Chain A
Amino acid sequence: MSITHRQQEGFTLPELEFLAQSEPITIVPLYRMERIELVGGPIGPFRPPQKTSVPLWLAVQLKQASRCRIVAPNWLSADHLQKLVRKEEQPYSRFTRLPTHYLEIAHILLTCAEDDLIEPQNIRRLLQDLREVRQGKVRQGLALLNPLQLQMDNLSAAEVNEIRPVFRHSFDMLRQLEALERAATAQQHETQPMEDMADDPFNSSSFYPSM
């Protein structure tokens, strides 16, 4: 296929941004409009100054045409992010709950709707801190890797995309090594005389991966 190596390994970030734009967001429209039926669902009616929920792509378009004001989602405030950072920094904690596309939504809003956010510089700094702490935890997860299963809850889409190439490589390597180990132990048990097997009927080392 004629796609680049980076595209083969997962989503590119502009693609993730595009996918994130179907998330709903609250806006305050600045003009009146009747309800319209789109393929993705109905939009409207717009009755300023009432708030409505629209998909992010529409919110961005309207904002760039100066026809609405965007209401920041409640997780995108300096206070909430500060609380999350403190919660993440606690040792042995799991990943905190964040929207799946939080990085992309934050980026879009910081780019086109900066005036609708409170303290955007603070928000940028806190997002960076949050990302660093979570990356540290991801590295700890890498240490616990085994070829069967690794569960990391509450990772966002962009973060999963970031670790996909490395984890894929590590999984492959571990899987190959484990298959070789299992073949070696199976061979060992074949060459053992049958009495050994009969003595210990619960000897299951040839059935489970040796960890």
Chain B
Amino acid sequence: MAQRDYYDIDDILAGQERVPCLLRVDLDGLGTAGSGTSKVQRNQRWALPYWMGERLDTEGFIEMSTPAVFSKRANRMYAASATSMQLRAVSPHYYKFGLQLADIVPGLPAVLRSMYMERVQKIAQISQQGQNVEGLEFVQSLDRTETLVLQKCQAAQGAIAEWQHGAAYKLNKAGVF
């Protein structure tokens, strides 16, 4: 079972991502104004957030299927060019969502691992070389987990440089004054 922290904001946001679901029962009273009736027939496709979909799936009301983000086609595409993927456009919570879905999508952990390892190396490389133009584009395509890693890298680098220039001890006047 994937580790999910109940109070972690990122886990909550990641669980909000949509998952395609197939309705197994007839529902009364949930029809929208546009469809004309108040009944919702079974075997209709809905996109529900994962946290809702998972509960309803265990109760048997719906059947979840793999979202497009982790489909076989998508995984092949990502594996082909891991470092040039625009993960933020795909889903800003790619890794966290993937960790939550790993139970129902077979082979997902391997995909996530190869993506993560390749991209993390590029992140480390960029943060050591300082900002430049191609780096900027890559940085903008990172998802939230990777942005966190980048910030940690840069903070660590910056700390050593700052200390070597003697600025680590400095007390600066706050900008408010």
Contacts and interface: CB of A to CB of B under 8 A. Distances in A.
Interface of A: 6, 9, 12-14, 17, 103, 107, 111, 132, 135-136, 139, 142-143, 145, 158, 161-166, 169-170, 173-174, 176-178, 180-181, 183-184, 210
Contacts of A166: 120, 124, 149, 152-153, 156
Nearest to B2: A180
B159 A13 contact: yes
Given A139-B124, A166-B149, 9 more contacts: A145-B117, A164-B156, A166-B120, A166-B156, A174-B116, A177-B113, A180-B2, A180-B109, A184-B102
Q: Chain A at the B interface: mostly helix, strand, loop or mixed?
A: helix
**Pairs of residues from A and B, 5 with the lowest C-beta to C-beta distance, nearest first:** A165-B152, A13-B163, A177-B109, A180-B102, A181-B109
13 contacts: A14-B168, A103-B160, A166-B149, A166-B153, A166-B156, A170-B117, A170-B149, A176-B2, A177-B113, A178-B109, A183-B1, A183-B103, A184-B102
Contacts of B102: 177, 180, 184
B121 interface: yes
A174 B113 contact: yes
Contacts of A210: 110
A135 B161 CA distance: 14
Interface string B138-155: 000000010011001101
B112 interface: yes
A75 B13 CA distance: 52
Interface in B1-41: 1-3
